Structure 1
Amino acid sequence: MITMFSSRTYPLSLFSFFIIISFFTFSHGDHLSSVSAGFKGLSGGRQENYETGYYSRRIAVETATANSTYMILAASRTYRRDPFDSFRYYRGGWNVTNMNYFSSLAYSSMGPMFMGVTWFLLFGIFLLCMCCCCSRGKKYGYSRCCFFTLLILLTFFSLAVVCGSGIIYKAQQKFEDSIVDTSSYLLKEGGELVVHLSDMGKTLAAAKDLGASPELKIPEEQTAQIDQVAAQMTNVTQLVHTITNRSSNDIRTSLIPVKFLLICLTTVLLGMAVFGFVFCICGLECLLNILVMFGWILVLGTFFASSFYLLVSNATADTCVSIDEWLQIPTANTALESIIPKVDTATAQEMINVSKNVTFSSISVINSFIVNVSNVDVPPQAGPPLYYNQSGPQVPILCNLYNNDFTDRQCAIGEITLEKAPEVWKGFVCQVSDTGICTTPGRLTPTTYNQFTSSLNVTSGLNAELPFMTELMNTTYLKNVLGKLSKDYCPNLVKYSSWMYTGFIWSTIAVMFSIIIWLMYGSQRKNRSYTKKVDSGRDNIYGHQYL
Structure 2
Amino acid sequence: MVKINSTSTSTLVSVIVVVALIFPEVASQALSPSDSVADNVSDTIRQSDSTIRVDPLDHFEKYRGGFNITNKHYWSSVIFTGVYGYAIGVLCLLCGIVYGSILAITLVCQRNDRRVKKVFPCNYKSCDLSIPLAILLTTFAIVATGLVLAGSARFHSEAKTAVNIIIKTANEASETIQNTTGALKGMESNLMEANVTAETSVNLDSTTEKLDDASANIEKQARKNRRLINKGLKLVFVATTVIISMNLVAVIALTVSGVLRLRRALYMLVILCWLMTVVCWLLFGVFFFLEKFSGDACTALDNFQENPYNNSLSSLLPCDELLSAKSVLSDVSAGIYDLVNKVNANISAMQATSDVNLAHVCNPFSAPPKYLYQPENCPANTIRIGDIPKALKPFTCPNAIDGSCDSLYYITGSQYTRVEAYTNSIQDVLNVYPSVEHLLECQLVTEAFSQVLVNHCKPLKKYAEMVWLGMLFLAVIMVLLIVLWTVKTRHEHRYNLSDGSVEPHFAPTKALESGTVKEIEI
Structure 1 residues 22-101: aligned runs within 5 Å: 69-73=42-46, 75=48, 77-101=50-74
After TM superposition, give the deviation of residue 277 of structure 1 in Å: 1.0
Give the one of 245, 258, 282 matched to 2:260. 282
Structure 1 residues 101-180: aligned runs within 5 Å: 101-126=74-99, 132=106, 139-142=120-123, 147-148=128-129, 150-180=130-160
Which structure shows the bigger proportion of residues in helix conformation? 2
Q: Which residue of 2 aligns with 1:28?
A: none
Q: Which residue of 2 aligns with 1:233?
A: 211
Is 1:511 aligned with 2:478?
A: yes
Structure 1 residues 186-335: aligned runs within 5 Å: 186-211=166-191, 223=201, 225-332=203-310, 334-335=311-312
After TM superposition, give the deviation of residue 276 of structure 1 in Å: 0.3
After TM superposition, give the deviation of residue 366 of structure 1 in Å: 6.4
Task: Please give the secondary structure, in 2, of the residue aligned with 1:4.
Answer: helix
After TM superposition, give the deviation of residue 154 of structure 1 in Å: 0.9
Deviates more, 1:284-293 or 1:392-401: 392-401
Distance in structure 2 (CA, Å) of the matches to 1:258 and 1:316: 15
Is 1:340 aligned with 2:307?
A: no
Structure 1 residues 343-382: aligned runs within 5 Å: 344-345=321-322, 348-349=325-326, 352=329, 355-356=332-333, 359=336, 363=340
After TM superposition, give the deviation of residue 281 of structure 1 in Å: 1.0
After TM superposition, give the deviation of residue 292 of structure 1 in Å: 1.5
Is 1:4 aligned with 2:26?
A: no
Task: Please give the secondary structure, in 1, of the residue aligned with 2:215.
Answer: helix
After TM superposition, give the deviation of residue 115 of structure 1 in Å: 1.4
Q: Verify the 8 A CA contact 1:81 1:89 in the aligned structure 2.
A: yes
After TM superposition, give the deviation of residue 270 of structure 1 in Å: 1.0
Spell out, residue by residue over 1:86-130, the C-alpha distance to the aligned partner (whole angstroms, 9 max, x if none): 444333332334443333323321101221233334455555566
Spell out, residue by residue over 1:444-474, the C-alpha distance to the aligned partner (whole angstroms, 9 max, x if none): 8898777656544433332343333333333
Give the one of 436, 454, 471 matched to 1:487. 454
Task: Please give the secondary structure, in 2, of the residue aligned with 1:139.
Answer: coil
Q: Verify the 8 A CA contact 2:284 2:472 in the aligned structure 1.
A: yes
Give the one of 423, 428, 432 matched to 1:461. 428
Q: Which residue of 2 aligns with 1:422?
A: 387
Task: Give 1:516's aligned amino acid.
Answer: V
Distance in structure 2 (CA, Å) of the matches to 1:257 and 1:299: 20
Q: Verify the 8 A CA contact 1:161 1:270 in the aligned structure 2.
A: yes
After TM superposition, give the deviation of residue 192 of structure 1 in Å: 0.9
Cα 1:234–1:515, aligned 2, differ >3 Å: closer, same or farther? same
Deviates more, 1:403-412 or 1:120-129: 403-412
Task: Give 2:446's aligned amino acid.
Answer: K
Q: TM-score under structure 2 normalisation?
A: 0.72
After TM superposition, give the deviation of residue 221 of structure 1 in Å: 6.8
Task: Please give the secondary structure, in 2, of the residue aligned with 1:89.
Answer: strand
Q: Verify the 8 A CA contact 1:6 1:342 in the aligned structure 2.
A: no
After TM superposition, give the deviation of residue 205 of structure 1 in Å: 2.5
Distance in structure 1 (CA, Å) of the matches to 2:411 and 2:352: 12
Distance in structure 2 (CA, Å) of the matches to 1:287 and 1:413: 84
Q: Verify the 8 A CA contact 2:123 2:504 in the aligned structure 1.
A: no
After TM superposition, give the deviation of residue 162 of structure 1 in Å: 1.7
After TM superposition, give the deviation of residue 524 of structure 1 in Å: 7.3
Spell out, residue by residue over 1:155-174, the C-alpha distance to the aligned partner (whole angstroms, 9 max, x if none): 12212222222223222322
Unaligned runs of 5+ in 2: 1-24, 510-522
Cα 1:236–1:146, aligned 2, differ >3 Å: closer, same or farther? farther
Spell out, residue by residue over 1:243-270, the C-alpha distance to the aligned partner (whole angstroms, 9 max, x if none): 2222222233323432332223212211
Task: Please give the secondary structure, in 2, of the residue aligned with 1:309.
Answer: helix
Task: Please give the secondary structure, in 1, of the residue aligned with 2:132.
Answer: helix
Distance in structure 2 (CA, Å) of the matches to 1:439 and 1:146: 121
Spell out, residue by residue over 1:312-355, the C-alpha distance to the aligned partner (whole angstroms, 9 max, x if none): 222222121222123222222x4422233556347734762575
Cα 1:92–1:511, aligned 2, differ >3 Å: closer, same or farther? same
Cα 1:236–1:350, aligned 2, differ >3 Å: closer, same or farther? farther
After TM superposition, give the deviation of residue 427 of structure 1 in Å: 9.5
Q: Verify the 8 A CA contact 2:399 2:413 in the aligned structure 1.
A: no
Cα 1:95–1:271, aligned 2, differ >3 Å: closer, same or farther? same
After TM superposition, give the deviation of residue 413 of structure 1 in Å: 12
Q: Verify the 8 A CA contact 1:429 1:443 in the aligned structure 2.
A: no
Cα 1:236–1:459, aligned 2, differ >3 Å: closer, same or farther? same
Task: Please give the secondary structure, in 2, of the residue aligned with 1:166.
Answer: helix
Task: Give 1:268's aligned amino acid.
Answer: M
After TM superposition, give the deviation of residue 283 of structure 1 in Å: 0.7
Cα 1:223–1:120, aligned 2, differ >3 Å: closer, same or farther? closer
Q: Which residue of 2 aligns with 1:56?
A: none
After TM superposition, give the deviation of residue 287 of structure 1 in Å: 1.2
Task: Give 1:320's aligned amino acid.
Answer: C
Cα 1:198–1:406, aligned 2, differ >3 Å: closer, same or farther? farther
Distance in structure 2 (CA, Å) of the matches to 1:404 and 1:210: 29
Identity %: 15
